[in-house]
Structure 1
Amino acid sequence: MIEILAISGSLRAASTNSALIAALAANAPADCRVTVYCGLGRLPIFNPDDEGERTPREAASLIEAVTRADGVIVSCPEYAHGVPGGMKNALDWLVSRDAAVGKPAMLVHASPRSLYARAALAEIMRTMSFALREDTTLEIALLGKKPAEIEAILAESANVLAMREAVSAFAGVIRDR
């Protein structure tokens, strides 16, 4: 069983990125388990003085979840042409650890307009030594849709198939390592 950790970079209750991550988890192929990380909003602001034995419990949980996972999927909104602070903060907690080093990662997108955040997030994750797979991607345009519309779009057979194929391709990359 391939274990994948999925992280939404949004804290918003009606987040399209969180909806996409949840749909990926619900529609994962049988040989994959996609676990949604829900602690982004509880992470304290990263402070290098709080690393090591002083690492806060919530940050230690994130580090452990990334370490245990065979791969990581991130779906992140764009705020002011950048990565939201909560997502960057989560990545900062991983910077000085081995959890990200060589860890397969894939970005998925709920908006075709998040080009600056995509580039910034990819640069951050490559710098951290994630094995970012840019050949296995998924974009389902959900921006500006109401919750019922989002649910309907994510339930469309073509989108369910696209989600399964994207996760399956990512799992294949993980297996082939």
Structure 2
Amino acid sequence: MKILAISGSARRNSTNTTMLRVVSTMAPEAVSISVFDQIGGLPVFSPDLEAGELPPPVRDLMDQVAASDGLIISSPEYVRSIPGGLKNAIDWLVSSHLLAEKPMVLMHASYRGEEMLEALRTVLHTVSSRFSDDLFLRFSLMPLTPDQISEELSTSENCHRIKLFLESFAHLCRTG
């Protein structure tokens, strides 16, 4: 099973990207998780750009989404909302209909961001019939360094939480 973890951050040393990278190393057997961390490289969505050959970064994202059995999305909040780069990526994917039946769940790397999470849940419920509100994993990792994030997520309690989350998501992807 292939899971694509999408980081909604364009920042090079993103807490969300780091969290997803660490979590990807804890995938259960027979599950592989790859991390998409190129949100900032996507051109601004325009239906005009869909008429011809898609820009390579967009084609790459679409290919990765199409090849995955499910998506984990983790994003910071910017000004209490969804970052523009993540919303832009979703706009590109919606136009291709790749998200309509794709199982999706959220992770979050902060104790705050409720307004963004609510807005993101609304968007994901709109674009996918298989977005799950029930499966959600949150950590308070702000403002830890990448090494500290790895250490925090590697505690026995957090490893257990991560493994249960990933096993539950893999089951959701298999069963529909």
Letter in 2 for 1:100: L
Residue 159 of structure 1 is matched in structure 2 by: 158
Over residues 58-108 of structure 1, what are the superposed CA-to-partner deviations in whole Å (9 max), with x where a residue is unaligned?
A: 101111211111000000000001011111111111111121011000000
Change (3 A) 1:3 1:52: farther
Residue 136 of structure 1 is matched in structure 2 by: 135
1:126 aligns with 2:125: yes
**Counterpart secondary structure, 1:124:** helix
Whole-angstrom CA distance in 2 between matches of 1:36 and 1:149 = 19
* Pairs within 5 Å for 1:44-123: 44-123=43-122
Whole-angstrom CA distance in 2 between matches of 1:5 and 1:96 = 19
Whole-angstrom CA distance in 1 between matches of 2:145 and 2:32 = 28
Shift, 1:148, TM fit: 3.2
Runs of at least 5 residues in structure 2 that lack an aligned partner in the other structure: none
Identity of aligned residues (%): 36
1:30 aligns with 2:29: yes
Equivalent pair of 1:105/1:130 in contact (CA under 8 Å): no
TM-score normalized by structure 2?
0.95
Change (3 A) 1:90 1:30: same
Equivalent pair of 1:136/1:170 in contact (CA under 8 Å): yes
**Counterpart secondary structure, 2:115:** helix
TM-score normalized by structure 1?
0.94
Shift, 1:39, TM fit: 2.3
Whole-angstrom CA distance in 1 between matches of 2:51 and 2:2 = 26
Letter in 1 for 2:77: E
**Counterpart secondary structure, 2:79:** coil
Change (3 A) 1:52 1:71: farther
Letter in 2 for 1:138: L
Whole-angstrom CA distance in 2 between matches of 1:57 and 1:89 = 15
Shift, 1:30, TM fit: 0.9
Q: Relative to structure 2, which stretch is displaced further, 148-157 or 57-66?
A: 148-157
Over residues 89-136 of structure 1, what are the superposed CA-to-partner deviations in whole Å (9 max), with x where a residue is unaligned?
A: 111111111210110000001012010111111111111125111111
Paired positions, count: 176
Whole-angstrom CA distance in 2 between matches of 1:130 and 1:57 = 28
